[in-house]
């Protein structure tokens, strides 16, 4: 399906206009809380005190403050490194230890078609470009990005509602999206997942068998670019082959340490 005009004409910009796109290999879009706030006009001053933001987390023009100690955790890494498998392990470990519901795993919106086994509303929210643009224009995404010719966006209301409820938020996004979120939410905890080697990463991509030879070449090139950005993250975790449980355990330890160090810190988003 052809992209709507606002998307098709702005391959170098976010949908609906605005800042530069954050596709692989391009610079990050600048973002700030100030740009999210409504313009003030004479006679109608706008302040955060004018609305109880705890009851209205869907208002993108106000900053929401999460419950004390609730974390926003960003997990990134190149395609094929095992991010989805790691998150599945985190979910399972949470259930098995009786802590189910302590975290919220953001379900990202995407315009790409589902892969075999992916479930709408669980793995991703699969929507068309027109719907994606509608949400973007309503400022419903915390960040939005075009990756490999498909758009991805992190629903703002999911993040806000979970933080207000005191739940840690786990958000899986690419390096450019992570940079945008960090610029808006300085309290975000960034974790980058790396493969044991580039050859191992490429082998995983080949075994996945979901891309053409041309697409594999693009993903391999993008992986090198993304791996060069791991220094922008708070923590780097290696996902060794066949050791996803150990990787999940390392991430849980990082989150637990953050809770210990900052038990009352509030995330503003």
Assigned token pair, 204: 């995983």
Residues contacting residue 99 through CB under 8 Å, at least 6 positions apart: none
pLDDT at 186: 94
- Residue 49: pLDDT over 60: no
Other C-beta atoms closer than 10 Å to the C-beta of 122 total 9
State yes or no: pLDDT of 8 exceeds 80: no
Name the pLDDT band for 185 (thresholds 50, 70, 90).
very high
Report percent pLDDT > 70 for the chain. 77
Q: Indicate whether 97 pLDDT > 60.
A: yes
pLDDT over 60 at 140, yes or no: yes
Confidence of residue 124 (pLDDT cuts 50, 70, 90): very high
First to last CA, the chain: 34
Q: List 54's β-bridge partners, or say none.
A: none
Task: Report yes or no on whether pTM surpasses 0.95.
Answer: no
Quick one: average pLDDT of 217-230?
93
**In this predicted model, what pLDDT tens digit does every residue of 73-82 receive, in sequence order?**
999 999 999 9
Burial level of 4, CB count in 10 A (0-12/13-18/19+)?
Answer: middle
CA angle, 88 then 90 then 96, to 5°: 105
Domain spans of the chain, in order of start: 5-15+62-261
CA-closest candidate to residue 90, choices 227, 193, 182: 193
Does residue 54 carry a pLDDT above 70? Answer: no
Instruction: Encode burial over 6-31: b for 16+ CB neighbours within 10 A, e otherwise.
Output: bbeebeebbbbeeeebbbbeeebbeb
Alpha carbon distance 72, 66 (integer Å): 10
Instruction: Annotate the chain with three-state secondary structure.
Output: CCCCHHHHCCCCECCCCCCECCCCCCCCCCCCHHHHCCCCECCECCCHHHCCCCCCCCCCCCCCECCCCCCEEEEECCCCCCHHHHHHHHHHHHHHCCCCCCEEECCCEECCCCCCCCCECCCEEECCHHHHHHHHHCCCEEEEEEECCEEEEEEHHHHHHHHHCCCEEEEECCHHHHHHHHHHCCCCEEEEEECCCHHHHHHHHHHHCCCCHHHHHHHHHHHHHHHCCHHHCCEEEECCCCCHHHHHHHHHHHHHHHHHHCCCCCCEC
The fold of the 5-15+62-261 domain, in CATH, is Rossmann fold (3.40.50)
pLDDT score at 55: 45
- Say what the pLDDT of residue 28 is: 37
């Amino acid at each position: 399906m052809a992209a709507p005009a606002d998307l098709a004409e702005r391959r170098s910009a976010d949908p609906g206009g605005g800042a530069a796109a954050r596709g692989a290999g391009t610079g990050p879009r600048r973002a700030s809380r100030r740009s999210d706030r409504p313009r003030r006009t004479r006679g109608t001053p706008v302040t955060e005190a004018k609305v109880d933001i705890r009851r209205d987390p869907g208002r993108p023009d106000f900053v929401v403050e999460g419950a004390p100690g609730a974390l926003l955790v960003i997990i990134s890494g190149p395609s094929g490194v095992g991010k989805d498998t790691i998150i599945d392990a985190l979910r399972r470990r949470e259930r098995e230890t009786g802590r189910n519901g302590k975290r919220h795993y953001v379900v990202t919106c995407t315009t790409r078609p589902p892969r075999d086994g992916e479930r709408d509303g669980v793995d991703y929210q699969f929507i068309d470009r027109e719907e994606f643009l509608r949400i973007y224009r309503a400022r419903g995404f915390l960040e939005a990005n075009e990756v490999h010719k498909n758009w991805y966006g992190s629903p703002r209301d999911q993040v806000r509602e979970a933080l207000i409820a005191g739940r840690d938020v786990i958000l899986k996004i690419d390096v450019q999206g992570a940079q945008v979120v960090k610029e808006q939410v300085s309290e975000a905890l960034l974790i980058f997942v790396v493969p044991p080697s580039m050859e191992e990463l490429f082998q995983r991509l080949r075994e996945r068998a979901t891309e053409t030879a041309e697409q594999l070449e693009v993903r391999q090139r993008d992986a090198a670019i993304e791996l060069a950005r791991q220094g922008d993250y708070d923590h780097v975790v290696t996902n060794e082959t066949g050791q996803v449980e150990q990787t999940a355990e390392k991430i849980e330890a990082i989150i637990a340490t953050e809770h210990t160090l900052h038990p009352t810190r509030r995330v503003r988003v």
